[in-house]
C-alpha cells in the first residue's frame, strides 16, 4: 500500500482525485467525506461544534427513538435542539439518527423530527445496547433484513431528505448478512450506507473486518462509508486506500481528540501533519468544550457530564493521573480551571 506522501505526489502529477472529496446524495452535497459518528451521550451541540471547527465535514445528533418522537417526548426531542451560538455557526447541515422497529411509527415520528430541519435521516441498525435490542431495534434488525427494507421504505415515503443506514456485519459470525442487507437497503431507497465491520456479538472486541467494507463498496451503487478502529489519521488513510470506501465515520477516536479531523484532512491532502498537539492546546480545548456545555445545560449539569470528556482529553498526558482523579470532585467551571492551572504549574 502506498504511503500518504507518495499518494499525494502521484495525485498532483496525474490529476487524480484526492482521498478527501465531497459526498453527493439526493438533494444534499456534503463538502467532505470525514464524518463524526453519532454517539449517545457525546455528540451534543457543543462537541459537534468543536469537531466541525477541527475539520469534520459532517455530524449527527445523538440517536433518538422514533417511537419517543412520535409520542412528542420533550426529553427525546431535546436532543435535536440546535440553539444558536456564535460558536456553532458551522453546523449548516446535520444528520439525525433514529432507531425503532415499527414502520407504522415512522410517519408520526418524522413529522416531529421535521420541525428540526434535518439534512438527512439515518436509521441505526448497529447499536448493541441491551435496552435498544430488547425493543427489536438497532442491531436486532440485522436478524431480519427485510424488516430493515420496510423501515427504510417507510422513511423514504415520508421525507424528501436523503435516508441513510448504519449497520454491522451481521448478528454473529454465523450470520454475516451485510451484503444482503446492503442490497435491500439500496432497493428500498437508501442513499448511503455506513458499515461498522464487526458483528453485534463481537461488540468492540477483536479487529474490525475492513474487507467487509471493501466487498460492500464493490457490490453497491450507493456510497459506502466505513467505520471501526479509526484512532489515528493513518488508520483513516489505510481504510480509504485499502477498501475504496467513499468516506469514513470516526467515533471513539474523536472522543477527547477532536484534533483527529484536522490532522486527517492534512494527511490525506498534504501527505503529512503535525503529530504532536501542544499540551496547552488540548487543555484549552477541554475548557472551551466545558464552557459551551455550560451555555447549553447550566454549570452544575455541564460540569458533571464533562467529567467523561475531560478524562478523555487528558488521557496520556504526562503526569496527568492526579488530574483525572480530581475530576470526580469538579462541580464548577472554577474547579476545572483551578485543576488545569495547578497541573500546568506543576508541569
CA distance 33 to 202: 27
CA 59 to chain centroid: 6
Helix (H) or strand (E) holding 263: helix 259-270
Residue 223 sits at φ, ψ, to 5 deg, of -60, 145
Q: Residue-wise over 117-132: b if at least 16 C-beta within 10 A, else e? A: ebbbbbbbbbbbeeeb
CA distance 170 to 179: 10
Catalytically annotated residue among 125, 127, 245, 311: 127
Helix axes 178-187, 210-219, angle to 10 degrees: 40
Decide if 43 contacts 61 (C-beta within 8 A): yes
**Burial degree of 223 (CB within 10 A; 0-12, 13-18, 19+):** buried
311 is catalytic: no
Catalytic annotation, residues: 127
Amino acid at each position: 500500500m502506498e504511503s500518504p506522501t507518495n499518494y499525494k505526489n502521484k495525485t498532483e502529477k496525474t490529476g487524480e482525485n484526492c482521498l478527501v472529496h465531497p459526498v453527493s446524495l439526493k438533494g444534499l452535497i456534503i463538502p467532505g467525506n470525514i464524518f463524526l459518528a453519532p454517539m449517545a451521550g457525546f455528540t451534543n451541540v457543543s462537541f459537534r461544534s468543536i469537531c466541525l471547527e477541527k475539520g469534520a465535514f459532517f455530524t449527527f445528533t445523538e440517536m433518538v427513538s422514533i417511537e419517543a418522537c412520535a409520542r412528542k417526548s420533550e426529553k427525546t426531542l431535546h436532543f435535536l435542539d440546535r440553539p444558536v451560538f456564535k460558536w456553532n455557526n458551522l453546523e449548516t447541515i446535520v444528520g439525525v439518527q433514529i432507531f425503532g422497529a415499527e414502520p407504522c411509527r415512522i410517519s408520526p415520528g418524522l413529522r416531529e423530527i421535521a420541525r428540526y430541519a434535518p439534512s438527512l435521516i439515518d436509521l441505526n441498525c448497529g447499536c448493541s445496547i441491551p435496552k435498544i435490542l430488547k425493543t427489536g431495534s438497532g442491531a436486532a434488525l440485522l436478524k431480519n433484513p427485510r424488516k430493515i427494507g420496510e423501515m427504510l421504505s417507510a422513511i423514504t415515503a415520508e421525507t424528501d431528505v436523503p435516508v441513510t443506514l448504519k449497520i454491522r456485519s451481521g448478528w454473529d459470525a454465523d450470520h454475516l448478512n451485510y451484503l444482503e442487507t446492503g442490497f435491500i437497503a439500496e432497493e428500498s431507497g437508501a442513499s448511503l450506507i455506513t458499515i461498522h465491520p464487526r458483528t453485534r456479538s463481537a461488540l468492540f472486541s477483536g479487529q474490525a473486518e475492513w474487507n467487509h467494507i471493501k466487498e460492500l463498496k464493490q457490490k453497491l451503487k450507493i456510497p459506502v462509508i466505513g467505520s471501526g478502529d479509526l484512532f489515528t489519521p493513518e488508520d483513516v488513510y489505510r481504510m480509504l486506500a485499502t477498501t475504496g470506501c467513499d468516506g469514513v465515520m470516526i467515533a471513539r477516536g474523536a472522543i477527547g481528540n477532536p484534533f483527529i479531523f484536522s490532522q486527517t484532512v492534512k494527511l490525506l491532502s498534504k501527505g503529512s501533519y503535525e503529530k504532536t498537539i501542544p499540551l496547552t492546546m488540548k487543555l484549552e480545548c477541554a475548557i472551551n468544550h466545558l464552557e459551551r456545555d455550560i451555555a447549553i445545560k447550566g454549570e452544575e449539569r455541564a460540569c458533571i457530564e464533562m467529567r467523561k470528556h475531560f478524562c478523555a482529553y487528558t488521557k496520556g498526558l504526562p503526569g496527568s493521573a492526579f488530574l483525572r482523579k480530581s475530576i470526580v470532585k469538579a462541580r464548577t467551571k472554577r474547579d476545572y480551571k483551578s485543576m488545569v492551572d495547578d497541573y500546568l504549574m506543576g508541569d
